[in-house]
Amino acid sequence: MKYVPLIAILLATSASAESSVKGRVIDYYNNVVVSTPHEKNLCEEYQVPIYGQQGSADGADVLMGMIIGGLLGKGVTGKDNGAAAGAVFGGVIAADKGSKTVIQGYKTETKCRKEVRYSDRTERMYTHSIITFRYEGRDISVQFQK
């Protein structure tokens, strides 16, 4: 930018000495890729298992658990209340041992997430200009920005 006033003075001086000054200005550009972000919603389907209980203890298993629990409860505490509590726990444990958790089926669930994507476009951007002219028999080139 410092050279633009100098160019004007040279052209004015040259113009008075000669009838015309011939020069050429060339503009230069670069292609620049501009990326613009945008969000995209991505969804996927998943198969999710459905759990349930299968099987159960029969009456004989529960009765056996109650008897063993009652005997242990009486033996540990020495009281009838301990025997009753042991019988209840023994029955519950026997009933639980007879059933197990299994997959009974599947259901479809959709899960979505946002992802940032970029769109690219090419733009032509001005970088600088060069003026070339002849002064006192020499070619002079000066780079400047508009």
pLDDT in tens, 27-76: 999 999 999 999 999 999 999 999 887 766 666 666 676 677 667 766 67
For the four alpha carbons of 112, 114, 120 and 121, in that order, the dihedral sign comes to positive
Q: Is pLDDT at 1 greater than 60 in this prediction?
A: no
**Intra-chain end-to-end CA distance of the chain, in Å:** 8
Where exactly are the structural domains of the chain? Answer: 3-55+99-144
Q: Which residue has the tokens 């998943």?
A: 46
Structure tokens at 31: 């292609």
**Residues 43, 114 contacting (CB under 8 angstroms):** no
pTM of the model: 0.37
| CA distances in angstroms from 81 to 22, 93, 95, 117, listed in the order given | 120, 18, 21, 70
pLDDT in tens, 83-124: 677 666 666 666 666 567 788 899 999 999 999 999 999 999
